[in-house]
Structure 1
């Protein structure tokens, strides 16, 4: 069942959330090159135009010409109908010769980092953040596992795109740190419960993305804000392509402990 040493991810159904830009977009490109013909990528994001452009790009790529199918789902994963749309498309795309189901939980938002913890008195605001960043991740994962249950010949891999913020507190980042810590524990529990499942919490490192630019501009804590600005100015931010390549290495080698939190600098 292990794809270790075979150089590909099998004939896969791969669901990637937050696929329209940044790390999710790079992951989609890399996965498309590492799956066998007959594989299906289900790309999920809120931005329809960006998703359509990515779908067109992949269709014209070598993977597309070799028979890798790309489906796109424009959805807000913070809402039940968004999750249902992802599941419906995934079920329709699944064929009996698929031997690997991969779910990449990448969709996330930064939350309001312009305020400190003591300023979050609006429960609806906090609930909304947790709905997109925590609840949807659990419910989508559970739905995918139910839709594609364990059976002989089918490997299942669930990846949570994590962060150093899951392990360390960052001042004025209470929502983001809380969401990332909750997700890490969620997938650690899942790994304990489902020994047949391959579960990975992957921390992609400080990436040069729109989210990082937002963090540099509005983070309330001056030291945190300065550290991000310095990393950007000194060229210490990583490209999404660099980080995605490390994730692919982990998946192909398939030697990680299920449920582990692995940082890009440890790969």
Structure 2
């Protein structure tokens, strides 16, 4: 890990979860720009991030954290916000970490699997957003939260009762925070990224038909090249995060842009 103090005046500070694989790994690389300070929270280290950040004038700190573990999540968040600078022009939080598991009919689900999904998909982004709002309160800076949601939170699917419910929860949480923050507080969006060629999609295609009736549709999308590339979606999300009208539409889909 490259150690760093966030001491430079101005620039952008971005906090990103789930940065070691899939869309999160692509986002971490896309966010590396001169004047950016990037802090990640991930179970594993992004092996290419440090060198890529150094080549692009980005200060990076990778904080190891298993966000399904409440105690470990709290410790990691405490470490992260203990070093938060007070002099950036823009502060961004991207809650990207998530899991599609458990997959299967509701009558087959196990308590531990449900609890882990709720911890990662709902509790962790709620806690991070809460701490982000409190830590940046009173700063003369642009403050933005981007929750990576899913179309599954807006359309029920058999076999995905937990995943759909957790993403619907994040959508409603986003709406509630927007009401609390009003026009002058933190701007917040819950964004569906579309169907992307990531390890999560590979996990979905490894499902059993009896557990996930829509399995053939996802296999067909992969076979016919209908999945978006992580790099392309990451670039579009970074551009979306920088829009002047960010937050005006709090429930959105990157495929609209």
* Alignment TM-score, normalising by the size of structure 2: 0.88
**Which residue does 2:20 correspond to in 1?**
20
Separation in structure 1 between the aligned mates of residue 212 and residue 17 of structure 2, nearest angstrom: 32
Map 1:200-239; keep pairs closer than 5 Å: 200-219=189-208, 220-221=210-211, 223-239=213-229
**Which residue does 1:55 correspond to in 2?**
50
**Which residue does 2:178 correspond to in 1?**
191
Q: Is the 8 A contact 2:32 2:52 kept in 1?
A: no
5+ residue gaps in structure 2? 1-9
The alignment's C-alpha RMSD in Å is 1.8
Give the drift of 1:257: 4.0
Q: Is the 8 A contact 2:95 2:147 kept in 1?
A: yes
Separation in structure 2 between the aligned mates of residue 81 and residue 215 of structure 1, nearest angstrom: 28
Map 1:120-199; keep pairs closer than 5 Å: 120=109, 122-151=110-139, 153-195=140-182, 196-199=185-188
* Alignment TM-score, normalising by the size of structure 1: 0.85
Separation in structure 1 between the aligned mates of residue 21 and residue 107 of structure 2, nearest angstrom: 32
Separation in structure 2 between the aligned mates of residue 22 and residue 124 of structure 1, nearest angstrom: 24
Separation in structure 1 between the aligned mates of residue 243 and residue 137 of structure 2, nearest angstrom: 24
Q: Is the 8 A contact 2:122 2:166 kept in 1?
A: yes
Q: Size of the alignment, in residue pairs?
A: 244
Q: Could you say what secondary structure the match of 1:253 adopts?
A: coil
Q: Is the 8 A contact 1:188 1:259 kept in 2?
A: no
Moved over 3 A (4+): 122-125, 219-223, 256-259
Give the drift of 1:128: 2.6
Residues 188/214 of structure 1: CA separation in 2 closer, same or farther (3 Å cut): same
**Which residue does 2:66 correspond to in 1?**
76
**Which residue does 2:6 correspond to in 1?**
none
5+ residue gaps in structure 1? 1-9
Q: Could you say what secondary structure the match of 1:32 adopts?
A: coil
